[in-house]
Structure 1
Amino acid sequence: MAALEPQHMTVLKKILAERFVPFLPPLLGAAKPEDQAAKQLSRAFSAFALNKLLNITPKDAAASVVDDFNDKGLDAIHYHAPTETLYLLQTKLKESEQFKQDEAQSFCTGIRLLLKQDFTGFNGNVHNRKAEIEGALDACSRIKLVVPYTGDGVSQSAIDALQVLLDDDDLDEERLDKQVDYYAAVDITRDLLAEQAYPPVHTDIALQKHAKVENPRTTYYGIARLTDLVALHKDKGKALYERNIRYFLGSSRSDVNKAIKTTLRDDPGSFFYLNNGVTAVCDEIELKGKNPSSGFRKFKVRGLSIINGAQTVASAAEFVAQHPGSNIDDAKVMLTLIKAPADGPFGKRVTKARNHQNPVQTANFASLDENQERLRQEIAHLGFAYHYRPEASATGLQAISLDEALRALASRQDDPRYAVWLKSEPARLANPESAEYQALFPATLTGVALLNAVLCHRAIRTLVVDYEQKAAARSQEKLIYRHATHVITAVMMKRLRQRIGAATVMDAAAIPGLISQPLDELRQQTFDLGRQRLLGEGPLAYFRNQGSVASFMADLMETHFALTADPTLPTLRNIDTAADAYPRKRLLDYLSGKAPQL
């Protein structure tokens, strides 16, 4: 079993320090100052596990921690009254180590002493809670052992040691659960990401003149009050559109959204006839009561997600907010409720098919890529907002758009064609079904790597734009900087590979100072090489040609990486295999791998 990934360990430690350490019992041992912070995080990990497993507050979870010197292998003791269960924990906050036999044996020793109510060898944290623990031992109906760990598994010898304890009839303790619960890296990652996930929408929906389709999918359709959907929008926010391809684009960016607001202002009674309607999927639909006077039937729905009509509902909500005295009670809309998992293939198919009222770009369907939501959740933990769905609020230095992510990730690729596609065919990279998109967003891409790539890309592009602006008007130098910008960026990004791939977020303010001198050298080398190559050909046409860019980038990397004397290069220059994905692939791959890291 894999250990907790470094980027998730960084997030976990931050949460432990901020959310749990302040509530921990004071340290009893005289640990060295340099060791105290690490010890506190290790203690807080027990509280984190209790918080996630039992849904108790961080304060209550931290109060259950007894981890300290002389804890006899017991790191936390917690009585969960609702289930009458006494939880005993031993945790291990190590990035790579397994939970081992000696730790399991220590845990077993502490459990035996506790069950005998022999407190003599325990530390002050246990003695301070002696009466509470004795009461829990008397009241509990079950005793559960839990081992949370961040390393790469539990050794077989540790499992065997715990099993010896569980099989020991001499303990005379029938309440001891025979199954140890292991809270591992996969569980920790799931719970960390869940903190940034949108909660499922469970609500009631009222439909008038409804009808039902049984096969192949249970579906109800009918007339809904627009005011009901506006109220739902106000209450649930983005969670209501979790599976839609876009959030609200804003009325200023969409003629359709402007028209929606105009109709609501001038003729709300005609809204039903002028609108295409709203489509939603949900996990469950349950028929409830009917109002005889209005003819509306209530439906209880779970896991609701509007997959088409986000602009309709959000525009109406914006109109109501901007015109609080307006009355849109006469506005109705056709609503279709389909019982289907929104993240299943059928839900995605319906989403694609029904989104054609506002102009739709191929990139919008990246919202159906589950990988994008994982990246959003990871990046949210790092203090940034990743907007992979188009929306009006995706602005500011802390916001990252899908387009910006595509450009930054494309600039990381060794394949020189990405520098050409960025210039001539950017839509190619945004198609979720293309091989190019899938190479940019593999399942192994982490949120911190994406964020670091964007921060580096921003800093590089800012300096390159400055080079262009300072060059003489209508000069060849100015045109080279303008049209070779993706090539320059790609070469410099290769020198930042290690920093981008680190487990921590780079300091955006420090990046310009880190790259300014080598980037200025790269600028001059690009200009010098451009003057040699651009004989009778314009920079625009040259840097849109894949063969030209591959050759140019190879020579530029050779110069900038100081590899002109590398004995391997002459051989690689002469290799040209038709099976390679692009010209000079082996040479370019070799040069990319030799990039000196900043």
Structure 2
Amino acid sequence: MIRKEDCQKVIRAFRAKHGIDATDENVIATVHLMNAHGLDVHAALDQSSRSGNDRGVDAWYYHEPDNELTIYQSKLTESKALCLRGLNDLDTARQWIEQIVLEGTVDSIPNDNHCLFNLYTKLSSVRGSIKKIRFVILSLFDRNEIEDCSEYQEFETILVKSQLNHHVRDVLNGKLVLDASEYNLERSVAVEPKVYPINKIPNAQVDLRRNAHLDLAYIPLDSLVQLYRQRGNVLFDKNVRLSLLGTKEARERLLHPMEETLDAVTSGKLSPNIFPFYHVGITISATSAGADGENLLNLEAPSIINGCQTITIANEYLKKLEKQKNDAGIELFRQIKVIAKVVVGTRDDELKEITNCNNRQKPN
């Protein structure tokens, strides 16, 4: 059994460095992903929950070479009884995953929890090739201390009898595994940085110095919404105007004109091509960007430093279309594109000034 104080020390250091707003159980699950699986902080944040509606999934990892999915439920408690309650959460996760693997869909796409959204996206693409699904209770306790409990054995029986187990074994020739693990606090270097691809405009780069430049991009608004759904509010961690939507007056100045434009586009009254004429564009910062041909940038640590309101409004609007099952409107929404400046490799003082300059314009 590891000490709770050691976990809390790691949690405090992580919060201080990354400014993440999440429960201790969620933060330590993120740290575990980094240490146990060699993920960088951005991939680990994308694959761990920081909000409710998590369907029992605090974190997840998919190992491509072995087609192995691991589902974590985190319980940062010194009470074994409270820890074992996490098995009920894992059963909730099992039922949700069962629906995706067997049927290929869920009642609604989880667009209000980035961790589930990313898991749903991954599962949808690999549901026919999964060879192992591990359900892991993550805690302070040693594996043997948990495995010997009757609650653990009872949940294992539930897994054995589940439709998911029969499908994975009989159809996919794989297996389910129930496991218990201590939090991994041993720091490790990431295997590779996570990158986020975006389309760029060819021959539209302005060099500041070596490895620091500005690229122009023409990005589908839907791609920005999907990036937000992948990353959550961490995508806006460098934006000084995130609180602008907090006042009713400021929100209405942004919301109503943009919604009117989106209404006109998705109803077919206006062409999707009109959007960049009306919209000033957005600015994205990244620590580095690798070019993949002339038309693609692979961004590391992307952050929206101007335009978070555009993305959050667009996300809510798309959620409305999805709830209405307005397929025609969704297709027109996906044709909307936004002009973006992609700022790569700038120093902190430069990025601060870029952010301030881009945010001086008042929303109309």
What's the TM-score once normalised by structure 1's chain length? 0.26
- Computing the radius of gyration over CA atoms, which structure comes out larger, 1 or 2? 1
TM-score using structure 2 length: 0.41
**Structure ranking higher in strand proportion:** 2
